[in-house]
Structure 1
Amino acid sequence: MEWIRIPLGPMQTNAYLLYSSNHQDCLIVDPGEEAGKVRQFLEKKKVKPSAILLTHAHFDHIGAVDALRDHYQIPVYVHENEKKWLADPSKNGSSFFQGITPITAREPDQVFTNEGSMKIGEWTFELLFTPGHSPGSVSFYFKEAGIVLAGDALFQGSIGRTDLRGGDHNLLLKSIHTKLLTLPEETYVLSGHGAVTTIGDEMNSNPFLNGF
């Protein structure tokens, strides 16, 4: 598996494209804005996405969802706790910030309901329920590739904010410690914002995780 991180929009939210030379489909994770930039990369690699996966439904992660869904005719997945958030600016947070035009997308085509092994297209991964930043936050763990897409749960040297709708600081810390920090230390953490880190680095140096 190969992957690329593409920061999109004014908040530089990381979208990720997962692809492989073994087959011609890919997965799009958290396309926050700038659908044209995502399409340009896909066309360059000559791969067609099979689905859009959302780690959660905050506005800065969903801005390009409908444009890409409609262009490629592919389904959108989000956790069932946030299936109504895409279409509601008061839930997805875009009405929370002054100067931001309300952002909406149509409701998801599919919802995540249970943790465990999942297969979408040619891709198999482990779905981890990691709420706290939002009530439907999930992470996608690709064991063979040694990566976990953690959304806004865990960052390099930081953790997700919990002052938006449904945020819960203690629950977020529990999610990080019981679901993410139990992964192999060499696992790369592909976060929703900022640089790539590893589980081991965050265990050793993240100041928000000490003393839990």
Structure 2
Amino acid sequence: MMYVQIPLGPLQTNCYVLANEEKECVIFDPGAQSEKLIRFIEEKQYKPLAILLTHAHFDHIGAVDDVKEKYSLPVYIHQDEQHWLTDPALNGSQFFGIGSISAGEATDIISEEGILNIGSFELYVFETPGHSPGSVSYYAAKEGLVFSGDALFAGSIGRTDLPGGNHRQLLASIDKKLMQLPEETVVLSGHGSETTVGQEMDQNPFLNGF
């Protein structure tokens, strides 16, 4: 399988497209600029199977509806944020002076951790709250990848000053879930460059207590 990182929108939120050899793909966090994302998918002749959201903050959901409708896709979100998609007060857009951003309701609600199979894609869903109550990370074990959303970044961690954020909870999520993955696991974050579990274990100043 291969993945591509596509920064989208004013906050350059990372959308990821994970594709297999049959050109099927799943899309993580289509945050904005749907035309740019759709153009990429069309150029690659990919066949999207699903949209997977790590959480429902506005900068991760802005292109959901366009991409969903273009390809008739299911949308996955954790149950603790299923109502955030439609509510600019919950997803944070009304607080940033950029207008109201929302998306339609998700089709598939994640209620617990476990394996998620979509076509040939096998992903383990970890609940990693703290940045937001329903944050999840998607772990592709065979590929050695984890899509961490805004939980963990290269050299940093997610902010916890937005509604539902909890700093202590976020550190616990990172320690008990993400830091337990193999050190060579590539961490694909919601913003910035990729990193590895081992690199963050050794160098991330926010994790020195673990």
Q: 1:1-212 residue pairs with structure 2 within 5 A?
A: 1-21=1-21, 23-97=22-96, 99-212=97-210
For residues 98 and 155 of structure 2, the distance between their equivalents in structure 1, rounded to whole angstroms, comes to 27
Q: Which moved more, 1:200-209 or 1:120-129?
A: 120-129
For residues 38 and 72 of structure 1, the distance between their equivalents in structure 2, rounded to whole angstroms, comes to 12
What are the Cα deviations for residues 121-146 of structure 1, in whole angstroms up to 9, with x where unaligned? 22111110000000000000001111
Identical aligned residues as a percent? 57
For residues 175 and 76 of structure 1, the distance between their equivalents in structure 2, rounded to whole angstroms, comes to 24
Give the count of matched residue pairs.
Answer: 210
How many Å apart are 1:116 and its aligned residue? 1.3
Q: Which moved more, 1:121-130 or 1:179-188?
A: 121-130
AA in 2 matched with 1:151: G
Secondary structure at 2:177 match in 1: helix
How many Å apart are 1:71 and its aligned residue? 0.7
For residues 106 and 6 of structure 1, the distance between their equivalents in structure 2, rounded to whole angstroms, comes to 22
Secondary structure at 2:117 match in 1: strand
What are the Cα deviations for residues 55-101 of structure 1, in whole angstroms up to 9, with x where unaligned? 0000000000000001111111100000000000010000121x211
How many Å apart are 1:5 and its aligned residue? 0.1
AA in 2 matched with 1:31: P
TM-score by length of structure 2 reads 0.98
AA in 1 matched with 2:36: K
AA in 1 matched with 2:55: H
TM-score by length of structure 1 reads 0.97
How many Å apart are 1:14 and its aligned residue? 0.1
AA in 2 matched with 1:45: K
- Structure 1, unpaired ranges of 5+: none
AA in 2 matched with 1:59: F
For residues 13 and 115 of structure 2, the distance between their equivalents in structure 1, rounded to whole angstroms, comes to 26
How many Å apart are 1:45 and its aligned residue? 1.4
- Structure 2, unpaired ranges of 5+: none
Runs of 4+ with deviation above 2 angstroms? none
CA RMSD of aligned residues (A): 0.7
Q: Which moved more, 1:111-120 or 1:172-181?
A: 111-120
Secondary structure at 1:28 match in 2: strand
